[in-house]
Every structure is written in structure tokens, then in C-alpha cells.
Amino acid sequence: MSTTASNRVSRRFLLGALAALPALAATLVGARGARAEIADPLPSWNDGPARQGILGFLRATTDPASKGFVPPEERIATFDQDGTLWVEHPIYTQVVYCLERVPVVVKADPRLAEVEPFSTVLTGDFEQIGKLSMHDLEAIVVATLTGMDVETYAAQVKAWIGEARDHRWKRLYTELAYQPMQEVLALFRANGFKTFIVTGGGQDFVRVYSQRVYGVPPEQVVGSALGTKFGYDAASRPVLIKEPKLLLNDDKAGKPEGIHFAIGRRPQAAFGNSTGDREMLEYVKAGAGARLGMLVLHDDASREYAYGPALGLPETRVGSFPQALYDEAKRDDWFVVSMKNDWKRIFAFGD
Amino acid sequence: MSTTASNRVSRRFLLGALAALPALAATLVGARGARAEIADPLPSWNDGPARQGILGFLRATTDPASKGFVPPEERIATFDQDGTLWVEHPIYTQVVYCLERVPVVVKADPRLAEVEPFSTVLTGDFEQIGKLSMHDLEAIVVATLTGMDVETYAAQVKAWIGEARDHRWKRLYTELAYQPMQEVLALFRANGFKTFIVTGGGQDFVRVYSQRVYGVPPEQVVGSALGTKFGYDAASRPVLIKEPKLLLNDDKAGKPEGIHFAIGRRPQAAFGNSTGDREMLEYVKAGAGARLGMLVLHDDASREYAYGPALGLPETRVGSFPQALYDEAKRDDWFVVSMKNDWKRIFAFGD
């Protein structure tokens, strides 16, 4: 490069820099704006009734001058998982786990390859698998979730959840946690609430990753639970073996029952997304003082899924949100969160 | 008063004060000693293997340089209640509650006065009451612990526990918490452990006073549990009704099973006092890394009770500590706490 060329470049650079000053100023303002946005506790939420409902509830329960004030040690918030904290469509992640575990089970006991429902699962034909009966699914649950000690099961789930990917985004299932709800969990904890997951899914399954993914420790996961049986292994070491005995069916009326059993007091706030959460929200909202009930409505077919059938969305086997639930929400002042309108983005990895 | 008398008094006061100087000096030394005692995290414990065992375990699990280090979020310690945290003799407090509740139940339904086992309970004849069968006791449990909603039950227990007194010390039952164990609970929490009560007693009962008495929040109480049924009251409000259905029998093998169900991971430390705690201690001690298992032995007939029959103490219906348990403790390095020798005092109110 000649000196002239070099000068010219420098001149261009200087002129360019001067010309950029207003833009720089805008950047600085933007930086301030960004800082303000970092201070926004719910940056992935658009402003609206749902966001205001959350912030208003937190003000009411944490301001000592408020009538709705709740002492910090009594602050409890419960969150459904599937469809509320992460994607549940087209099929619950734990069901995927059970199906993908079948080949391992068959390898250990090859005779199962010729036996239903295992032979159907091994075909990988999802249309046929979708037609399996409840009785068939129970056989798969028993084969994949019971008979081992609790630590072995946890290790199996940990290995699977660390590498299995969903079919649409090709992401780890744990990446399909909703970013706006992660912000709600963090904001509730920052306001002194103990956050619990209350899931129809298996609590032993969710506990494997709840701390890492949601910041919720295993002992704050309440879910459907199979019993265990205490005994001794061949080396006389005490073990807990997972049994095919349903101890808690943590769905519908089982949710408030599970909450009483595991937590022992009525939460002030609850989040769900389907008829499975209805009784939990009714129970929470019926308490005295400030209460928050919130349902996530899946109405964003392009960024996630749209199903219902509230608001004319299609009915599905997973995650029922009928018109009656929508009507009850409106009548009893539960907030309905529109994923399409209330959420700026759905996932941490993108929009 | 004459001037002379006044002078004499002053002189006496001065002389007395001078004479008291050595005593004052002793008081100051004593004050320093007292300050040192406040810094002692276990002031009600005599030094010995049990006290050293607790302190050594806490060093091993909280020192990042130690092989036994446990990350703070994984630190769990479980405590039996009856006979470990408070007095269980001659009869479990919750059984006293049920018996003393019978007159209220009969008042609401006077026909019961003529029906067994209620008529026997109403006599107040403890010898006859002691002969009631398990079937009789079940009828009393059903009549006094079920049929009401969970908030009503909690209010009933709260009222009773706030005024009922034991027969020996004439103290509130909650005053019969062991001061040395209160110090252990506090010390474990100060070292980042979540402290859980794991009791054969009813968890709905213990949860009423666990925060106030032990600093343990309701959601960290695991105990025997009757199921609840979700429904709606006459005013269409959602309620949880206590049902005569045993959901968790949190005793013996039921303790590690209950721990897995409610907590979801193996504690590093466990405290108990009877065969009901054996499987819990086995389970806890069988984990990897630093582990602490501790049994309280009731060998102090004058300050509390002495029963066993380990070490030749008398056998009783409540709180079995047979020789086999003592032998297992010795063999597997559980600490056995002698209330007589290891504890400077038993209760906060006295010695």
C-alpha cells in the first residue's frame, strides 16, 4: 500500500468515523437501553396483561405494606412441566425415553423381540406405535422404568437426556425449555419463592435434570411416582428397587393431592397449560390473599405448536386445552398466556 | 434515714463492693468463658466420640479440600422425631393427641360414647386404654385424623399443641425437644445442609409445628401419611379431605422408601433412636463418601427415661433399641449417643 493510499484510507476512516458519530450516539443510547433491558426481569415477555399479572402478583406478595404480603418462608409457586416449562408435542419426552429404551431392554432379553408391544415398538413405525393400547403402554413402562435400583435408573436417564434429540429442531430436549418461563422461575426465586415442579410425568425422570435445566432441586420436584422397595443386593448393600406400583398419579385432582402430600401447604401461584392442571389452579386460586393462576396457550404454530381446542385450535392427544378450561380461566381470573403474542421468543437458542 | 445511717449504708456498700472484686473478676472471666461457650456450636454436648463424630463429619463434607466434600446444594440430613428430637415416652405425643381428641369427636356424635373403643378411651383408664387392639387404635385414628379438610385438621392440631402438657414435666410437648439435637439441627443448617424430619408419625401433624419448634419447614417433613381426596365443599370451594387410606408408612423400610419418594436423593447423615430407623441408617451409610449415622440411646432414667433393651435396659412398647441394633451400630460405625454421658443437659428449660 502506497503512502497516498494509506492516507486516503486514514482519511476515509476519519470521515467515516465522524459520519458515524450520530450512529455511535444511538449505540450508546442503545447500550443504556440494553442495560435497562437487562434490568427487565422478563426480557422475553411482551408487555401485556400476563406480564403485568406476574409483576403485580410479585409486588403484592413481597411488599410488607401490601395486604397480600406473604412471609418469605411461606412463598411457594408450582409449575407444571410438559407444555408449561418445555415442549410436550407431538409426544411427551418421557414417552420417547421409554420407547427409545425398548431396544436396550430387548437386547438384555431377546425373547421380547417377538412379543407385543415390544415387536411393534421395534419397527419404529410411529403410526402403529400411536395405536398401542394403555395396557401395551403399561407393559412398556414396567419394562423400562422398573426392576432396577433408583441410582441405576437415574444414570440411564442422565445418559439419554444428555444426547437424545427431538425430531423437529434436532436439539437436546433440555434445550426445548421455554426461555420466558425460565425467566419466571428465576424471578420468583429472586422474590423469595420456593419453586416446585408439579408434573404428571415421572418425578424420578424429571429430578435427573431439574437442577441443571430449571434450577429446581430434586426435592422440589413432585410428579407421578412408582413406589420403591427397600432390600439388599447380592453384596448385602441396601438398595431401593423401582416397583410397578403407582404411588402417586400426579395429574388432575392428583396435583393438589400431590402438592399436599409433598409440600404440605397451598401455593400462592401455579402455572399450567392443560386440563391436567385445572384442579391445581383451582386449589391455588381458592386460597386467601394474593393468588396467581396462569395457563400457557399453545397458539404459535410457526415458532412452536398450535393446539387446543380453545380458540378453535386443533384437538390433540397431548395437552388438552378445551373451551371449557378457557371459559373457567376467564371466569376465575386466571391469566391465559398467548405464546404467539406474549412471548418475544420461545427458546434460548433462537426465536 | 439519718445521715449517719446513710453513711453507714454507703460504707457498707463500698466495703461490700470491694469485697466483691474477686468475685466480679471471676464473673468477668466467666463472661469470657460464656462467650467462648457461645462460640461452641454444640454447647449442650460433652466432648466424646459422638460430638467429635458430628464435628468430623461436618469438616469432611464442607471442606473443599476434603475427599468427602459435598457440594452445598446436595447436602441432606434426615432426623427421626419421636425419641430422637423430642420425648417419645411413655406414649407418642400424636397418640395422646388422638386420645384427647376423642371427647370432642364424641361430643359431635354422642352415640359414639356407648361404642368401643371410644367408651374405653372416655374412661381415662390408661391401663385399659393400653390394652386396646390395633383394630381399636385404627378406629380412633380414623375418627380423629380423617374426614375433615386439611386446613381444619391443621387448626385442630395447632390449638392442641399450643396448650396440651405432658404428665411428668407439666410442660408443653414442644418444650420437650432435646436441646442437644436442636443444636445439631442448627449446626447442620449453618453448614449448608437441608435438614429433613423423617418420622414414623403423621407428617400432617408434625408439619404444624416443625418450623416453629425445629426450624424445619413443612415441605421438609416426611412422615407417615394418609391420602387426601380433592373435591368441592358446599360453597363449591376446592378442598382436600383427609382420607382413611395409608399412602406412606414411614417406618423401618418405609423410611428410605419415603426419603426417595419425598427427597429423591440419598442423605449423607441420618439420626434415629430405634429399630424404626435401622433401614434409614443402613441406606444413608451405604452411600459413597463421608457418611454419618447416629442413634440416640435412652439411658438416663433420672433426667429423661431409660429403655432398651440394649445394655440391659428394660424393653418397652415405644422405641425399641434391641441388642441386635446396638451390635449393628458398633459393627457398621454408627455412633451411639448416650443421653446420660454425651448430653450436658436434655431440655432448654433445665438439665
Give residue A84's domain range. Answer: 49-342
- Residue A5 falls within a domain, yes or no? no
> Do B255 and B189 fall into the same domain?
yes
> Do B79 and B14 fall into the same domain?
no
Going B90 to B128 to B148 to B254, the CA torsion angle's sign is positive
- The pLDDT assigned to B314 comes to 82
Pairwise CA distance, residues A177 & A212, whole Å = 12
Is residue B85 within 8 A of residue B223, CB to CB? The reply is no
Q: In Å, what is the CA distance from B129 to each residue of A31, A236, B133, B209?
A: 77, 41, 9, 27
Low-confidence ranges of chain B (pLDDT < 50): 1-37
User: Domain count of chain B?
Assistant: 2
Instruction: Judge whether A190 is closer than 8 Å to chain B, CB to CB.
Output: no
Instruction: Judge whether A253 is closer than 8 Å to chain B, CB to CB.
Output: yes
- Could you tell me the pLDDT band of residue A351, with boundaries at 50, 70 and 90? low
Query: What's the burial of A328, exposed, middle or buried (CB within 10 Å: 0-12/13-18/19+)?
Result: middle
Summarize the confidence of residues A164-169 as an average pLDDT: 96
- pLDDT tens profile B140-165: 999 999 999 999 999 999 999 999 99
- Residue A347 falls within a domain, yes or no? no
Closest CA to A259 of B16, B262, B66, B69: B262
- The pLDDT assigned to B107 comes to 96
> Do B230 and B296 fall into the same domain?
yes
> Do B283 and B221 fall into the same domain?
yes
Instruction: Judge whether A286 is closer than 8 Å to chain B, CB to CB.
Output: yes
Interchain CB distance below 8 Å, A238 and B261: no
> Looking at the partner chain, which of B76, B219, B264 has a beta carbon nearest the beta carbon of A263?
B219
- pLDDT tens profile A211-262: 999 999 999 999 999 999 999 999 999 999 999 999 999 999 999 999 999 9
Instruction: Judge whether B51 is closer than 8 Å to chain A, CB to CB.
Output: no
Interchain CB distance below 8 Å, B261 and A221: no
- The pLDDT assigned to A38 comes to 52
Interchain CB distance below 8 Å, B264 and A229: no
- For residue A251, the chain B residue with the least C-alpha distance is B230
- The pLDDT assigned to B309 comes to 78
- The pLDDT assigned to B30 comes to 41
Closest CA to A310 of A327, A334, A292, A294: A327
The CATH number linked to A247 is 3.40.50.1000
In SS3 terms, B128-158 reads as: HHCCCCHHHHHHHHHHHHCCCEHHHHHHHHH
- Residue A28 falls within a domain, yes or no? no
> Looking at the partner chain, which of B218, B237, B261 has a beta carbon nearest the beta carbon of A286?
B237
- Could you tell me the pLDDT band of residue A130, with boundaries at 50, 70 and 90? confident
Global confidence as pTM: 0.88
Taking CB atoms and an 8 Å cutoff, what residues of chain B touch A257?
227-230, 240
- Residue A10 falls within a domain, yes or no? no
- The pLDDT assigned to A318 comes to 82
- Residue B42 falls within a domain, yes or no? no
- Cis-peptide, bond into residue B244, ω within 30° of zero: no
- Residue B188 falls within a domain, yes or no? yes
In SS3 terms, chain A reads as: CCHHHHHHHHHHHHHHHHHHHHHHHHHHHHHHHHHHHHHCCCCCECCCHHHHHHHHHHHHHHCCCCCCCCCHHHCEEEECCECCCECCCCCCHHHHHHHHHHHHHHHHCHHHHHCCCHHHHHHCCHHHHCCCCHHHHHHHHHHHHCCCEHHHHHHHHHHHHCCCECCCCCCEHHHHEEHHHHHHHHHHHHCCCEEEEEEEEEHHHHCCCHHHHHCCCHHHEEEEEEEEEEEECCCCCEEEEEEEEEEECCCCCHHHHHHHHHCCCCCCEEEECCHHHHHHHHHHHCCCCCCEEEEEECECCCCCCECCEHHHCCCCCCCCECHHHHHHHHHCCCEEEEHHHHECCCECCCC
> Looking at the partner chain, which of A218, A238, A260 has a beta carbon nearest the beta carbon of B228?
A260
Distance from first CA to last CA of chain A, Å, rounded? 45
- pLDDT tens profile A276-308: 999 999 999 999 999 999 999 999 999 999 998
- The pLDDT assigned to B319 comes to 81
Mutate to test the interface with B, among A212, A219, A245 (most CBs of B within 10 A): A219
- Residue B103 falls within a domain, yes or no? no
- pLDDT tens profile B41-69: 999 999 999 999 999 999 999 999 999 99
Is residue B341 within 8 A of residue B334, CB to CB? The reply is no
> Do B18 and B72 fall into the same domain?
no
Pairwise CA distance, residues A206 & A216, whole Å = 10
- The pLDDT assigned to B207 comes to 98
- Residue A20 falls within a domain, yes or no? no
Taking CB atoms and an 8 Å cutoff, what residues of chain B touch A207?
264-265
CA gyration radius for chain A?
25
Q: How far is A297 from chain B (nearest CA, A)?
A: 24
